[in-house]
Amino acid sequence: MATLFEPVRLGSLVLANRVFMAPLTRNRAHADGVPGELAATYYAQRASAGLIVTEATQISPMGKGYIDTPGIHSPEQVRAWSRIVESVHKSGGRIFLQLWHVGRISHSSLLPNNAQPVAPSAIRANSQTLIATGLAPVSEPVALTASGINETLDDYRRAASNAKEAGFDGVEIHAANGYLIDQFLKTGSNRRTDEYGGVTTNRVRLLMETVERVLEVWDSGHVGVRISPTGSFNDMADNNPVETFSVAVERLNGYGLGYLHVVETAQNSKGSSEADLATSAHLRTLWKSLYVVNGGYDGLRGESALSTGHADAVAYGRAFLANPDLPRRLQLGAALNEPDPTTFYGGDAAGYTNYPALT
């Protein structure tokens, strides 16, 4: 059986280990969505990950949901990401960009011309977002029209092309955590009566069409998808997540993607319930490629997930945030730095690039 520290093939890449860095929103980009100057240092410090998945990055101005998050839709953003990718590659790492559209989890003050957010249905989430004045309830969304869906799919393709121009090794489609694609997947947020709503095969349609647009740009082995089947974050619910995500996974199998990245926790907690893990274990039996799990794993649980065949790789979030050399620490059984929650979002180098590595 595999261990965390064995190489693994992903498309044409051979990754040094199976300790992946999960996407982590840090809110340190400029107001125009250009990544901040310290981002190249931050990611290069963590280049020993088998694979880095960047913080969620909006595919368009309408995809933005929080202040100071980066984009991949302007030339300036592409140039800044190119410098970040170069720094990671020089440090021996591999890095995928996470493609993000927040859907209804946004605020009009963050969107062009104070527009309303878009969503599968005009259902306001019981959730908050971060705007210039602090936390605020998300705005009332409008349901995407057929032409709006097609424009959004075009945005995904354009963003995927921009990621390739920036030199990334691949892309991850964010279909988790209550954002746009997840909103289409789950019954609690999708009340449509057209070909994108109702039965499960309709609700998975946007995800499949997004994958198809991205595959117009990228080889399938360099594309991953992230899902959160039992996730309730951002006011999400589904009346039968096992059915919904079984259909989604079986459809995704047809594209020969590089990996499936499964968030196993319901509410961004540090652990997963038995039901969460049972759902993930079921999806594992369906998935035909690299299976990546995420959700409060430590070194021992990560090793167990691989040795039992539950997963092929483990994505670490907060542990990687606070430990730039996390693979080495896990392999040595060394103590981990504790993350400082007060510096997770926004700010400067403190809690970003100043966590120490082992001497």
pLDDT in tens, 143-155: 999 999 999 999 9
Q: Which residue has the tokens 């974050």?
A: 233
How far is Cα 97 from Cα 77, in angstroms, rounded to an integer?
12
Q: Name residue 6's amino acid.
A: E
Q: Strand runs (DSSP E) across 247-327, as ranges?
A: 259-263, 290-294, 313-316
Ranges of residues in the chain whose predicted pLDDT is under 50: none
List phi, psi (to 5°) of 203.
-70, -25
Q: Name the packing angle between helices 205-214 and 146-165 (round to 10°).
A: 40
How far is Cα 65 from Cα 105, in angstroms, rounded to an integer?
6
Q: CA 151, 152, 154, 159 torsion: positive or negative?
A: positive
Grouping H, G, I as helix, E, B as strand and the rest as coil, residue 181 is: helix
Residue 24 tokens read as 């982590």
Instruction: Give the single-character DSSP code of 334.
Output: P
How far is Cα 149 from Cα 153, in angstroms, rounded to an integer?
6
Contact of 262 with 294, CB cutoff 8 Å: yes
List phi, psi (to 5°) of 15.
-85, 145
Q: Name residue 71's amino acid.
A: G
How far is Cα 125 from Cα 238, in angstroms, rounded to an integer?
14
Look at residue 152 in the predicted model and tell me its pLDDT. 98
Look at residue 165 in the predicted model and tell me its pLDDT. 98
State the catalytic residues: 179
Query: In terms of Cα–Cα distance, which of 317, 318, 316 is closest to 341?
Result: 318
CA 286 to chain centre: 21
Look at residue 267 in the predicted model and tell me its pLDDT. 66
Grouping H, G, I as helix, E, B as strand and the rest as coil, residue 140 is: coil
Q: Strand runs (DSSP E) across 6-94, as ranges?
A: 8-10, 13-15, 19-21, 51-58
Q: What tens digit of pLDDT does each residue of 83-118 get?
A: 999 999 999 999 999 999 999 999 999 999 999 999
How far is Cα 105 from Cα 69, in angstroms, rounded to an integer?
13
Burial class (CB in 10 A: 0-12, 13-18, 19+), 134: exposed
**Strand bridging mode 51-58 / 8-10:** unpaired
Could you tell me the domains of the chain? Answer: 8-317 (3.20.20.70)
How far is Cα 29 from Cα 36, in angstroms, rounded to an integer?
5
Contact of 76 with 100, CB cutoff 8 Å: no
Instruction: Give the single-character DSSP code of 267.
Output: S
Can you list the alpha helix ranges (DSSP code H) found in 99-240?
A: 146-165, 180-185, 200-203, 205-214
